[in-house]
Amino acid sequence: MTSAKGPLSGLKIVELAGIGPAPYCAMLLADLGADVLRIDRAQNVAAGAPDQPPLDLLNRSRRSVGVDLKHPEGVETVLRLAEFADVLIEGFRPGVMERLGLGPEVCRARNPRLVYGRMTGWGQTGPLAPVAGHDINYIALSGALHAIGRRGEAPVPPLNLVGDFGGGAMFLALGVLAALFERGRSGQGQVVDAAMTDGSASLMTIIWELLHMGFWRDERGVNLLDTGAHFYDVFETGDGKYVSIGSIEPQFYQLLLRHTGLEGESLPGQFDRAAWPAMKERVAAVIRTKTRDEWCRIMEGTDVCFAPVLSLREAPEHPHNQARRTFVEVAGVLQPGPAPRFDRTPGAIQRPPAHPGQHTDEALADWGFAAGEIARLRELKAIV
Q: Taking the CA atoms of 98, 100, 106 and 107 in sequence, report the sign of the dihedral they define.
A: negative
List beta partners, residue 192: 117
Task: Report d(CA 312, CA 92) in Å as an integer.
Answer: 31
- Percent of the chain predicted with pLDDT > 70: 98
Catalytic residue among 71, 134, 146, 318: 134
Quote the pLDDT of residue 44: 83
Full strand arrangement of the beta sheet holding 87-90? 63-67, 35-41, 12-16, 87-90, 115-120, 191-195
Catalytic residue among 31, 68, 164, 198: 164
Q: How confident is the model at residue 46 (pLDDT cuts 50, 70, 90)?
A: confident
Q: What is the pLDDT of residues 357-372, one digit of tens each?
A: 999 999 999 999 999 9
Quote the pLDDT of residue 274: 96
Q: 232-236+242-308 in CATH: which number?
A: 3.30.1540.10
Q: What is the pLDDT of residues 293-304, one digit of tens each?
A: 999 999 999 999
Quote the pLDDT of residue 2: 44
Q: How confident is the model at residue 3 (pLDDT cuts 50, 70, 90)?
A: very low
Quote the pLDDT of residue 277: 97
Residue extents of the structural domains in the chain: 12-203+326-379, 232-236+242-308
Q: Is the pLDDT of residue 322 over 70?
A: yes
Q: What is the pLDDT of residues 143-191, one digit of tens each?
A: 999 999 999 999 999 999 999 999 999 999 999 999 999 999 999 999 9
Q: Is the pLDDT of residue 381 over 70?
A: yes
Average pLDDT over residues 326-351: 96
Angle, helices 21-31/170-186, rounded to nearest 10 degrees: 60
Q: What is the pLDDT of residues 217-247, one digit of tens each?
A: 999 999 999 999 999 999 999 999 999 999 9
Give a three-class secondary structure readout of 76-134. HHHHHHHHHCCEEEECCCCCHHHHHCCCHHHHHHHCCCCEEEEEECCCCCCCCCCCCCC
Give the largest CA-CA distance in the chain.
84
Q: Give burial (CB, 10 Å; 0-12/13-18/19+) of 285.
A: exposed
Judge contact between 18 and 38, C-beta under 8 A: no
Judge contact between 88 and 115, C-beta under 8 A: yes
Judge contact between 58 and 27, C-beta under 8 A: yes
Q: How confident is the model at residue 1 (pLDDT cuts 50, 70, 90)?
A: very low
Quote the pLDDT of residue 4: 53
Quote the pLDDT of residue 253: 98
Q: Is this structure's pTM higher than 0.85?
A: yes
Q: Is the pLDDT of residue 307 over 90?
A: yes
Judge contact between 365 and 374, C-beta under 8 A: yes
Q: What is the pLDDT of residues 21-35, one digit of tens each?
A: 999 999 999 999 999
Give catalytic status of residue 164 as yes or no.
yes
Judge contact between 34 and 11, C-beta under 8 A: yes
Q: 12-203+326-379 in CATH: which number?
A: 3.40.50.10540
- Percent of the chain predicted with pLDDT > 90: 95
**Helix ranges restricted to H, the chain:** 21-31, 72-84, 96-100, 104-110, 135-142, 170-186, 196-203, 205-212, 250-260, 276-287, 292-299, 319-324, 360-366, 371-379
Q: What is the pLDDT of residues 254-284, one digit of tens each?
A: 999 999 999 989 999 999 999 999 999 999 9
330-333 long-range Cβ contacts below 8 angstroms, 24+ apart = 330/60, 331/53, 333/53, 333/55, 333/57
